[in-house]
Chains A and B, each alone.
Chain A
Amino acid sequence: MASVDIATAPDAARTRRPRTRRSLTGGSGLALGVTMIWFSLLVLIPLTAVLISAAGLGLGGFWEVVTQPQTAAALRLTVVESLMVTALNVVMGTALAWVLVRDRFWGKSLVDIVIDVPFALPTIVAGLVLLSLYGPSSPLGVNVANTRIAVFLALAFVTLPFVVRTVQPVLESLELDVEEAAASLGAGRFAAFRRVILPSLIPAIAAGAALSFARGISEYGSLVLLSGNLPAQTEVASVRVLTFIENGNREAASAVAAIMLLVALLVILVLDVIQRRLARRGD
């Protein structure tokens, strides 16, 4: 079956030519050693340090940090907004992918490019972009700056491409004859969509949703100017981490960061499972 393109693991399901894999020799062994040391110094050891620093609080201390009212409110807001944005993305992202694959109209390729803009724009610029239409000097007269709607808008902006870009290639690779067969057997359009198309899209939609949820949880840059970071109102988890760091409380920062890190790892695990299922179906 199709590969889930843009935002899933590199070992996605795809057509593979038979090849012979070599085991490591002197030069390649050295290269692997050097890259592994670099990867450890840059990624593995620092992320482990976050978990160890959080563990330094002990279970009681950890619980105290994350249940402190301001932190708990920030965590709750982050999770709720990310879930809401993910739900919106599942609907709008699938609809967008559908329109991009099945419809033809003037300017479609432009829409296709615009969808990637949130991936390309620096996050702080994304915040400023949204402020210019939904901020104090909005030409629409809509000012949602410093409200929870602003948090929702920012997350919807930065997560827009995920579901579209995971569903699009799968939809492109769907064979029309399956639908035609369903139709010739008397299935209505909606029944054909629900019974034939949707089941093959679900893994891709789930992958896109997982990525969009992870991005929502981790977002920082686009919220800085837009949400006002009001404690217990529009403050999200990443802002809480930053405040703890600025106050010199690195252990508390690590406690919140550890939760965010575990969510990220969980999402990667979910994606891996989805992908392996896809790969198995393809073989």
Chain B
Amino acid sequence: MATSTYTRDPAPVRWGLRFVTISYVVLLVAWPTALVFKNALADGVGAMFDSFKDPEISHALFLTGYITFFAVLINLVFGLTISILLVRYDFPGKRLLSALLDVPLSVSPVVVGLALVLVYNGRDGWFGPRLESAGMQIIFSTPGMIMATVFVALPLMIREVVPVLEELGDDQEQAARSLGANGVQTLRRITLPAIKWAIVYGVVLSLARSLGEFGAVKIVSGNIAGQSQTATLSVEETYQNFEQGTSYALAALLAFIAMACLVIVAILRPKEES
């Protein structure tokens, strides 16, 4: 038994807690997750990849990749800008904005979808008809799906960058500026390099969240296979159509990517602290 200053609980308490908590995590998360991979690989890796060749499935995967790319890009630019503004500048309403930025984390994806439909649908939305007559369809189209995805993943980048910026302070930035660097130079040479790991985590987390969005995208997309169906929506439809092999294969692929993101963050994170 390893001893440390922390392992001071008496043995029965320690083993009891260990047993209860580990069983809980195994039964609730580890075992079921492992089973999905087992089910997906039941007919071999070849069969799993064959199911991705179905045109509707490959289109869904492409669409998910496309939406994720733009959603992460938008959140990267928006998140960075707003983080720098929140930490380095003073403006009225800053506290309120900071609180409001967390709203997407606790709002139901279904509410997000409904909210976007109410404003952007082409028939009777607030802005939808005008945008549509200008040739821009949002709801039941890719822009709406990107907006829904951006919405749900919005706070992730900000949550990673803001604490790092705060801890960093602005001594170096001020020094750079006093030596004659302009705003863009200070940003590129001083600020961005100092927060690059926070940005990497933010991107990885936004990526995982964007790939997996389901409820909000289901409402704004119209959910038509081969057209506006993303990978997560295909998981649902194939499962309900009793194509469980395809469903498990897609789910395993999504789970694999999500968990790879997780492991990347877990491996990278200690670097920042040392």
Task: Enumerate chain A interface residues (CB-CB to B < 8 A).
Answer: 3, 7, 9-12, 14-24, 27-28, 31-32, 34-36, 38-39, 42-47, 49-50, 53, 92, 95-96, 98-99, 101-105, 111-125, 128-130, 132-134, 139, 153, 156-157, 160, 176, 189, 211, 214-215, 217-221, 224-225, 237-239, 241-242, 245, 250, 253-254, 257, 260-261, 264-265, 267-268, 271-272
Contacts and interface: CB of A to CB of B under 8 A. Distances in A.
Contacts, number: 300
Contact of B166 (A16, A31, A36, A214): A16
Contact of B212 (A125, A139, A239): A125
Interface of A is mostly: helix
21 contacts: A3-B163, A10-B101, A20-B170, A21-B90, A22-B88, A24-B91, A45-B119, A47-B103, A50-B118, A105-B2, A113-B262, A114-B25, A117-B259, A122-B213, A129-B255, A241-B111, A245-B113, A250-B117, A257-B115, A260-B111, A261-B111
In the A-B complex, list the 6 residue pairs whose CB atoms are closest, starting with the nearest: A122-B212, A218-B108, A46-B115, A17-B169, A10-B162, A132-B35
> Which of A17, A18, A114 lies at the interface centre, i.e. has the most chain B CB atoms within 10 A of its CB?
A114
Given A123-B232, A133-B31, 18 more contacts: A7-B105, A9-B98, A10-B158, A10-B162, A11-B162, A27-B183, A35-B81, A39-B78, A105-B18, A114-B30, A115-B29, A116-B266, A124-B212, A133-B35, A221-B214, A257-B110, A260-B107, A272-B99
Interface in B68-121: 78, 81-83, 85-86, 88-91, 95, 97-120
Given A10-B86, A10-B101, A214-B106, A92 B158 contact: no
A31 B81 CA distance: 7
A17 B95 CA distance: 19
